[in-house]
Every structure is written in structure tokens, then in C-alpha cells.
Structure 1
């Protein structure tokens, strides 16, 4: 996921099969929540971008891999090769990242986990 020319862009690469989706609206100035949602549907799936919880771009993924990454995740810039040919690495994000959340299928909700942890600590 990256922001380019005011738009939120996400790219998915499955063995050279590239899927790119760009938001249909500009990313607003100031604080906002940017999101990417991947959904599997058998061996394929779809990729959707959102801004402040509103979906604003979607594309079908012809091949959906069962692994997320083998090289790790770079936040705020590309440490290695660029995610997309639309820019040159490191393509540093100049805004402020307040929070990054990755939720895996079947995973728990971080807010629920935090509330449970607080309740357990209160009983100590």
C-alpha cells in the first residue's frame, strides 16, 4: 500500500500476476485511516482499498497465495525493491504513521484482546 498523486494504491503480486487498485477519491489532508482488505474466494479473491472506513477501490485477484510475505514488511518506505514499478525505492512516506494494524483471518480483534487483558490485570 502506498499513496501516490493523492490516491491510495495497493498492489498484490502472485508469482508475477500483478493486481493493482487505486482509490477513486483523494486521500484527505490530515489524520485519516487508510485500509487494504484482501479476501480469498477459493483460489482467487479480491483486493479493496478504503479511506476512513469507506471502500473506494476494488480489483479481482486471479491467484490468491496462502502466504503473506517471505521477505518481511517495510513500513513508511521500501527497504528493497519497490512494490510497484510506478515509483523508485525507497519512496519514503512523508506523513506520520500513528498506527499500523495487520489482522489475519481467524485472528482476534485487538480492541477485544486489550479489554480482556485489562480485565485480567484488574483481577490480580
Structure 2
């Protein structure tokens, strides 16, 4: 709750990654990074770990949007997006990135190359 209060109306970066557990279920981890007025440092907060039924760009974007909205934030305030280099994440068309860019035109993409 303290994290969400600290994040209110701030610009932030979304960091996401998918993982498949031993039972072959996919999950999406969503983190945010932002400058905390309270601590005067960069803060990283856990938003959610969500099961993923379909790993399309559209579905993952919708899951992110739902979780960010549920946390009381707005995707318009997202200024950075970090993910792996998969086409459903950062492709030019029909990806999470292409959809996020429509909502937050000032957002920049940071791709992990590992």
C-alpha cells in the first residue's frame, strides 16, 4: 500500500518478464520503477504475478493495463517499457510495445538482450 501511495501520479517504467513454471503454466511478472519523493531514491515495486493463458501482444498488454489500473495508476504516466526481445513484446505491429506507445506516446523502449 505504501508503494502505491508513493507512486501516485508519478512517471514510471514498466518492467515485465514471462516465465513458465514446472507445471507448464505461463506467468507474467510486472514491476514498476519510479523516483520516490519519500525516499528520494529510485524505487522498484512489485505490481503482480499474473497467469497468462495466451501470450499474444494484445492479451499481455490487456493484462498489464488491468494490473496497472487495479493499482490505481494510469498507463499514460508510463515513460519506459522494458522486456525481452520477443516479437509479441517489442514487434512493430500487434505487440505490447506497439499498443503501449499508442497510450503513452512519450514512452521509450528498453530491451533486455539476455
Q: TM-score, normalised by structure 2?
A: 0.37
Larger Rg: 1
* Higher RCO by CA contacts (8 Å cutoff, separation 6 or greater): 2
